[in-house]
Structure 1
């Protein structure tokens, strides 16, 4: 969802209902003992016509999950499979979330309201279907900063504290609980297609392709692409383009998602499903976010490789509908699309005019070397050199940057010493007063600062 939010009347539309008999399981939300609104996205609630809900209505729909008018009568837990750290797992699905509603925004785009921490489903396995309050706070912070940095991401729409004590291995326990609602174009994963291949459900696969083409419209394949008129081939090209761009956006944001399994890959091209994410403290391609990623499979510098591999799994799935050659042609576009998106995003964040792909790629190489050699944090690097500014001692980097002209609009933020950042120490600083004294002031301040950064950067390329 790259467009800015615009006010719109409420417009329920539920095309997923036609797919639900084979795509999802109707479920009941948990009955929570408490409901305290902790976050309400006042930038995006108006975009789907829900900005006028009072607090009681907000709790009724986003903690009790009473159906929205004319919308899905019951939440749907989606079914999917997936490769988890390259090992195929057919025992997956929405284990602590569901799709609660579908709506149109002012531009006619279909948006889903999906949950995290909303209770048990048929796919919960041994888990409790809940979300910790800290996990919800982390997801709000991540999505807000990613949006500000021009990354195509789901939006954290609501967080409500639910009054249960949860036990977790990676947090001091017992810990507080919450239910989160996210707003995104959809929750159709590469793993959704993998499940249909596994079950050899060709007709359902064709229906799902048509659904994605209709609800997540994209560009047409290049003129020389074989099979370019086939729906499965068109979708393959679109997903390759979206995920190549997403990988580039993460890199320029200095963001490490942490768990890039195929069940975490949304074919709409949105970053979502946030777990052990991190922002880079310094430019390190080997930096990992997940403590359990022992081999560095999803390290910062391997994220493009991971998304390319995931696209290959989509190609394997779509072989149920078409020949291999046109799918491979689409897959082979990933590398160049990624490099082009990386160049566009990099010069945008620096606030300079592009000098063409070759020159911009060379600039990126010098910038990466400069960050590695100096140890400067990426957030500070982009802030300090906004509009092509350099300092004495910047050496080769200053010389490379001098060839570029500034672009974009000025903002008081760029005169300040440091930009907003969410390295792990800062996240813990924001969380500590919430845990100790139920003090949300640092969290509220952080959201305001992040949104100010987004306003200063302006629309992404």
Structure 2
């Protein structure tokens, strides 16, 4: 295995800059930038970059050593130093925000440094979020605060270890500067500590990159970007052509369906599924006002900006992803002989989402597909039962994972086992609220007894599919408040536990608890905004 390099020893490649059309004026002023895929722009230096957190496993995969001391690597991660091989840029894109066309958006506070080769040779782009203004900052300062940066760093990695397709986070760096933010846009702006996250992905290209080109009739740019993505990120499809564009859209739709199915089966709510927040790779991108269901509620969104319409509520996510794919198909229409051919991709999305969600749910329930119709009826009945009982989805499935042996060997104990499960995993004590879920559990127990595997094998599989630990918002908020006070212990402990979310960690049982009463309405726990 090759020796890990300090970041300042790494060599960066820059295919996005080298192969696509960009402006090189260096002007960071907010403005429209028609005719280009990106703008060359450098990070704005900060007062005192200081490493707060580092993903050892991701660093190892990238062949990068954790920065030691106050050196060049730390300064690069804070945006104070650039290497000669870097060609930093901010990408131009547009998008639909809350269903409305917003025109040009772009990387307003993210600056990509270029790509490094991982230990397996695959290229990964490193991007600094919170690195200062770009032409796409829309009169903002291009900075990020510590609270939002902690949330992005933790969730990027937590989702990876849950097995959800996602961008990654390499580092969290304090800037030593203060940033003025109005968390809920209600006139209560205040200075907060600034921070920068180094985000990592094969590419950060979004649906919106294509939308802005199509909206302004930049057909050459649209085709060049599509060809670039296919050659670099979908090479298995072959050289770009009329037929390959169609197959490529189908693959984007398939990957998007797999991603959203994972969201729905771990109880994750993205919170702001604008088309500019949809990755062309089908990975979760842009961790802002996200959350996990506590309790199960299809209409819940953590995003205060979305309280009026609930457009991005948990239960709406599969439909919004389809809507966003339709918007992408409209943008790609000029590239194909018959735009109607792209409709097949939407069918791929619907079929893949349904099949993947069902498969993931069966895995969580310890079941193998026997009778497809009855199995679908069983899984489709569960969400309403969970909602009625106000069940904590994470705790419900985890506690259910401990029951196969008892359910299969001590049928007479069934009611007692279900009483304990419901007491542990539900938030309401309203009379009769758990009747639907109790009935569902009896149906499940009957179905479980049709399995031929041993109880131990079933339980082992369920424990590997149902995490004990997820990044609940109140846990993130506790880590944020401690970090703002200079205490990184909560952040470090939470990060380590989230790397192995399916393990027991008996010494950290408190991190698997139901949401406490004090967190029910606390800002940062139950309510967030796009500033979060």
| TM-score range normalised by the length of the shorter chain | 0.7 to 0.9
Deviations 1:117-158 (A, max 9, x none): 100001111211110101111112222321222110111111
Other-structure match for 2:296 = 283
Deviations 1:255-286 (A, max 9, x none): 10000011111101110111111110022111
Distance change (3 Å), C-alpha of 1:242 and 1:68: farther
- Of residues 400, 410, 418 in structure 2, which corresponds to 1:392? 418
Distance change (3 Å), C-alpha of 1:363 and 1:107: farther
Distance change (3 Å), C-alpha of 1:318 and 1:175: same
Distance change (3 Å), C-alpha of 1:228 and 1:300: farther
Count, aligned residues = 441
Q: Is the 8 A contact 2:4 2:65 kept in 1?
A: no
Q: What SS does the corresponding residue of 2:113 show, helix, strand or coil? A: strand
Other-structure match for 1:132 = 145
Deviations 1:410-449 (A, max 9, x none): 49x959xx922333322223323223x3111111111111
Whether 2:460 is the aligned partner of 1:447: answer no
Q: What SS does the corresponding residue of 2:253 show, helix, strand or coil? A: helix
- Of residues 403, 425, 449 in structure 1, which corresponds to 2:474? 425
Whether 2:243 is the aligned partner of 1:195: answer no
Distance change (3 Å), C-alpha of 1:119 and 1:355: farther
Other-structure match for 1:16 = 16
Whether 2:483 is the aligned partner of 1:434: answer yes
Q: Is the 8 A contact 1:134 1:431 kept in 2?
A: yes
Q: What SS does the corresponding residue of 1:25 show, helix, strand or coil? A: strand
Distance change (3 Å), C-alpha of 1:455 and 1:321: farther
Deviations 1:199-223 (A, max 9, x none): 22222222211211122227769xx
Structure 1 regions of 5+ residues with no counterpart?
1-5, 222-226, 457-461
Q: What SS does the corresponding residue of 1:362 show, helix, strand or coil? A: helix
Distance in 1 (alpha carbons) for counterparts of 2:194 and 2:343? 45
Q: What SS does the corresponding residue of 2:345 show, helix, strand or coil? A: helix
Deviations 1:11-31 (A, max 9, x none): 643221211423110112111
Q: What SS does the corresponding residue of 1:347 show, helix, strand or coil? A: helix
Deviation, 1:398, is: 2.9
Deviation, 1:369, is: 3.6
1:13-412 alignment, distance < 5 Å? 13-17=13-17, 18-21=19-22, 22-51=36-65, 53-55=67-69, 56-68=71-83, 70=85, 72-73=86-87, 75-170=88-183, 173-217=190-234, 230-293=243-306, 294-322=308-336, 323-350=338-365, 352-355=367-370, 358=373, 360-386=375-401, 389=404, 391-393=417-419, 394-404=441-451, 405=453, 410=460
Q: What SS does the corresponding residue of 1:449 show, helix, strand or coil? A: helix
Q: Is the 8 A contact 1:228 1:234 kept in 2?
A: no
Distance in 2 (alpha carbons) for counterparts of 1:244 and 1:219? 19
Distance in 2 (alpha carbons) for counterparts of 1:134 and 1:350? 36
Deviation, 1:44, is: 0.5
Which deviates more, 199-208 or 364-373?
364-373
Larger-gyration structure (1/2): 2
Tell me the TM-score normalized by structure 2.
0.76
Distance in 2 (alpha carbons) for counterparts of 1:327 and 1:94? 28
Q: Is the 8 A contact 1:32 1:63 kept in 2?
A: yes
Structure 2 regions of 5+ residues with no counterpart?
23-35, 408-416, 420-440, 505-532
Distance change (3 Å), C-alpha of 1:57 and 1:352: farther
Distance change (3 Å), C-alpha of 1:176 and 1:443: same
Distance change (3 Å), C-alpha of 1:402 and 1:449: farther
